[in-house]
Amino acid sequence: MKKIILTLCIGSLLALSCKNSPQGEKKEISNTSEKTQFDYSATSALKYLSSDELSGRDTGSEGIEKAALYIENAFKNFNVNPYFETYRDSFDLKGVDGYNVVGVIKSKEQSDLKPLVIGAHFDHIGHIEAIDQDSIANGANDNASGTVAVLELAKFLADKELKRDVIFALFSAEEKGLVGSKHLANKMKDMEVEPYVVFNIEMLGVQMEGKDYRAYITGYEMSNLAEVFNEFYNSEEQFLGFLPEAAQYGLFKRSDNYPFFEVFGVPSHTICTFDFTNYEYYHHVNDEFEELDVEAYLNLIDDLKPGVLQLINSTETTVNLN
């Protein structure tokens, strides 16, 4: 989703993508059930992940390492296990250590149902040209909001009876060209693990106005996901809708859903509320916690949870490509 939006909003993403990121120390977290002292709430998570302390979460930086450790601690405390030997899914990005953070909740049932992937990218663009002596692109909406939505869904689902496995993937190097999601999709392909649906989350922190739906999905016409998901809710208002600009600007290919569609040919979409008119701080130093509509954001996530649970526990393959 990034390159086309940036072209519209503040110039070429190419210059940002070509910046050299500092090499970060790659740390592995062992597969342990021991919990650490961890004071979590969605609001505090959103504040922390978009704070100056994390310096814009550029891939390979000390800031993204802090974000990864925070996510891992959250997973550990929610009883979400590492998907691999550790939570880290590491890759090389032109000499820079990159890594996705991937957890899983296993179904307690013996089931051959394909897993659901819930994802969001947790990286951002680090430091950019300063405005009023502030050069940190904090990435509160993009995409601390999506990251916390994944954490909230993981916390909600951790004690539920699930009929299929759920993989929680926090992607890195999305801002460098969907690198982390491409890596994980190909790795799962090699493992012969094909997802049922990929439910990616981007920029939910500011709500849309004048729409008869709560959020839109990219690639709306590619599958019947929106139709199936909306049937889970007894409401005149649709939960997932069609944003014409998403199709006009090809947003389906611009976020971490797309590599999974390319590799597996399965329903893979991004849910979003950024509609080109409701937030002016895309890739901007003012993309900060204080600019978000936190109350509406938290309500949206809470309302999203039961629909996601029903999607997971649908034993028939109701979501299909069109």
Greater confidence (293 vs 110) lies with: 293
Label residue 37 by pLDDT band (50, 70, 90).
low
Task: Please give the pLDDT value at position 25.
Answer: 36
Token code pair at residue 265: 């040919």
Task: Please give the pLDDT value at position 14.
Answer: 34
pLDDT in tens, 174-232: 999 999 999 999 999 999 999 999 999 999 999 999 999 999 999 999 999 999 999 99
Mean pLDDT of 42-66: 98
- Whether the bond between 141 and the residue before it is cis, its omega within 30 degrees of 0, is no
Helices assigned H by DSSP within the chain: 2-9, 13-17, 42-49, 62-78, 145-157, 179-191, 225-230, 244-248, 258-264, 294-312
Is the confidence at residue 162, as pLDDT, over 70?
yes
Greater confidence (250 vs 25) lies with: 250
pLDDT in tens, 282-298: 999 999 999 999 999 99
Is the confidence at residue 143, as pLDDT, over 60?
yes
Provide the percentage of residues in the chain whose pLDDT is more than 90.
Answer: 85
Token code pair at residue 203: 């920029």
Is the confidence at residue 303, as pLDDT, over 50?
yes
Mean pLDDT of 92-115: 94
Mean pLDDT of 162-182: 98
Cβ atoms 143, 46 nearer than 8 A: no
Task: Please give the pLDDT value at position 35.
Answer: 56
Q: Which domains does the chain have, with CATH numbers?
A: 2-21+56-312 (3.40.630.10)
Using alpha carbons, select from 79, 66, 54, 36 the residue that is nearest to residue 138: 54
What CA–CA distance (Å, rounded) separates 249 from 254?
Answer: 9
Task: Please give the pLDDT value at position 36.
Answer: 58
Is the confidence at residue 24, as pLDDT, over 60?
no
Is the confidence at residue 11, as pLDDT, over 80?
no
Label residue 39 by pLDDT band (50, 70, 90).
confident
Task: Please give the pLDDT value at position 135.
Answer: 98
- Sequence-distant (6+) residues with CB within 8 A of 211 are 241, 275
> pTM of the entire structure?
0.90
Is the confidence at residue 92, as pLDDT, over 50?
yes
Task: Please give the pLDDT value at position 237.
Answer: 85
Q: What average pLDDT does the structure give for the chain?
A: 90
Label residue 1 by pLDDT band (50, 70, 90).
low
Task: Please give the pLDDT value at position 26.
Answer: 36
Is the confidence at residue 127, as pLDDT, over 70?
yes
